[in-house]
Amino acid sequence: MLDPGKGPKPQPGQFANVKYKGSNLEGETFDSGVYPIQVGMGGSIKGFEEGVKQLAKGGKPKVFVPSMLGYGPRGSEPKIKPNQVLVFDLEVLDISNTRPQQQPMMPVDTTSAAH
């Protein structure tokens, strides 16, 4: 079920403070917490940000992220296997122009880094 919330969606440069739980298709949780994502700045995997951009404050969806918008063929072992589909239960707590007080807890996408 998708509840997109009410009001404006986050714009590039704004912060969406998001409560999340990430799991795989088998329902095994790999991470959870609260993450202040700055929209358009590349601070998370692409599928997570794309989901958040569709939501207003109070939005509570379940977002399915295909591997190519997640961690791709490299995965993020040991918790996320290569080519794994991710599922995020999200809740947008707030949208603002300044970073919330919490520190980021969501792992960043390192698959595009040069090796």
CB 31 within 8 A of CB 89: no
| Domain assignment of residue 86, yes or no | yes
Domain count within the chain = 1
In which residue are the tokens 């993450």 written?
35
Closest CA to 30 of 111, 92, 91, 87: 87
Residue 30 lies in a domain: yes
Residues 10-50: tens digit of each pLDDT: 999 999 999 999 999 999 999 999 999 999 998 899 999 99
- CATH number of the domain at 66, please: 3.10.50.40
The whole-angstrom separation of Cα 22 and Cα 48 is 10
Contact 89, 106 (CB under 8 A): no
111 assigned to some structural domain: no
For residue 21, being part of any structural domain is answered with: yes
Confidence of residue 103 (pLDDT cuts 50, 70, 90): low
**pTM, whole model, 2 decimals?**
0.82
The C-alpha atoms of residue 53 and residue 89 are separated, in whole angstroms, by 14
Residue 112 banded pLDDT, cuts 50, 70, 90: very low
pLDDT the model gives residue 113: 44
Domain of residue 51 covers: 15-96
Q: Is residue 108 domain-resident?
A: no
